[in-house]
Amino acid sequence: MIEYCQQLENCIVTAKKHCGKDFAMKRIKEKIETSTGVRWVTGTSKKEVEQRKRAIIEADLMQTLQPQVSTAPLFKAYAEAYMTRYKLRKIGANTMVGYRSYLTNHLYPAFGDLPIDSITVDRVQDFMLLEADNGSAKASINRIMQLLTQIMDSAVEDELIIKNPCKSKRLYNPSEKQCKVLPYSPGVYKQMERLLPLLPTDTDKLYLGLSMYAGLRQGEIIALRWEDVDFDLGFIRVRRAIQYAAKNVGTIKPPKTDNGVR
């Protein structure tokens, strides 16, 4: 027996020298794709490797399905910062009043408390559907969407979101309500002409006359100066308009566009 054990030990020593390493059970190595990249799984048998792979897949799936806490700012906070930084000094007072109305009455109720990276194409489309159901005209929805698109474009530049959901080709404006600006009908125009001399003051007559015959807007009429009127040639030059930042608080500025100067 002692002689047999000695022979076995000699065989093991010889095998170690021949292989250049200690005896060990052969290990199987396979790679697996996970949400974080490639991982290698080893085991002493195919069954052991499969069990380990299954455990890794299940753990990875659970991690993926867990709700992720967004670190992106809420839409309202981001929109306020955007308006202050990029819009406040670049747009007219009237336009800012309009933007404030869009934010307060439309965008904030829909998106204000959401992280900005959670605003999806579906949520934007649902918002447009709701606006249409509430009676908003197609043009009004387009103007609100224009502001929302600008805010989300800024979020893309700030790398808070990858794509702007407002630019999806799937989006459509469902409103059938149209805002139409119609000229005075001949009947209404004749009524206004009969009314004009009956107005109590010259100021009232001048205001209505400029609106009827010159086609001036309210803000353009109020901002007129004597130097804007050429009595010899019989024309009025429109070079400024009053813009209201709040009720009864207005400032006189040049028209917002070049077409407004005429």
Element (H, E) at 33: strand 28-34
Q: For 182-238, what is each residue's pLDDT tens digit?
A: 677 777 778 888 888 888 888 888 877 777 777 777 777 777 888 877 777 778 887
pLDDT of residue 157: 94
The closest alpha carbon to 241, from 252, 229, 228, 227, belongs to: 252
Q: Which residue has the tokens 């839409």?
A: 75
Cβ contacts of 113 within 8 Å, gap of 6 or more: 74, 75, 76
Instruction: Count Cα neighbours of 96 within 13 Å in the Cβ-side half-sphere.
Output: 17
Report which residue type is found at 56: I
In Å, what is the CA distance from 86 to each residue of 104, 154, 259?
18, 10, 24
Question: For residues 262 and 258, what is the distance between their CA atoms, to the nearest angstrom?
Answer: 8
For domain 75-167, give the fold. DNA polymerase; domain 1 (1.10.150)
CA distances (Å), origin 42, targets 45, 49, 51 = 9, 6, 11
pLDDT tens digits for range 25-75? 567 778 777 777 777 777 777 887 787 778 878 777 766 665 566 788 999
The beta-strand segments (E) located in 112-240 are 229-230, 235-236
* Domain residue extents for the chain: 21-66, 75-167, 186-260
Closest of 161, 67, 158 to residue 118, by C-alpha: 161
Cα–Cα distances (Å) from 78 to 54, 130, 152, 153, 212, in that order, read 43, 23, 10, 12, 45
Question: Quick one: which H or E segment has residue 41?
Answer: strand 37-43
Q: What is the pTM assigned to this prediction?
A: 0.53
